[in-house]
Amino acid sequence: MISNRTYSLCCQKFFQFLGHYFKVLQSLTQRVPESALQRWEDVVNDLQGEAARLQQLGLEKGTRMQETLEVMQLVCLQSENEIVIIIKRELWIYLELSASLKNAKLSEHIGFSLK
């Protein structure tokens, strides 16, 4: 069994607890003044407008970045093709010169030209 003092203390704490949360509930349920609601609406509208503006800017920047990437890929591809063409041309020139040199050495060795 609990003593009267313990029971009394428990009841006192319980009712203090209830009193505290009742005050909180009252403050939350009080009507907010119309002017405060209007200010809050204005703030929310401004923030929504700013969010939409930033979203549009982000979309535009992302689009420009994508276009830049595509152009850079095209430039790189063209540069690679140009490099391949130059290397093939240089290789062809080297092979022609090498063949000519072999012919020249062979003709020196044999005494006539194979042309």
The pLDDT value recorded for residue 112 is 52
* pLDDT digits (tens), the chain, 115 positions: 667 777 787 778 888 888 888 888 888 777 777 788 788 889 989 999 999 999 999 889 888 888 888 888 888 878 888 888 888 888 898 888 888 887 777 666 665 555 5
Task: Say what the pLDDT of residue 85 is.
Answer: 87
What is the residue whose two structure tokens read 């549009």?
A: 56
Where is 111: in which H helix or E strand? none
Tokens at 24, concatenated:
């909180």
Question: Rounded to an integer, what is the distance from CA 63 to the centroid of its chain?
Answer: 12
Residue 76, pLDDT score: 81
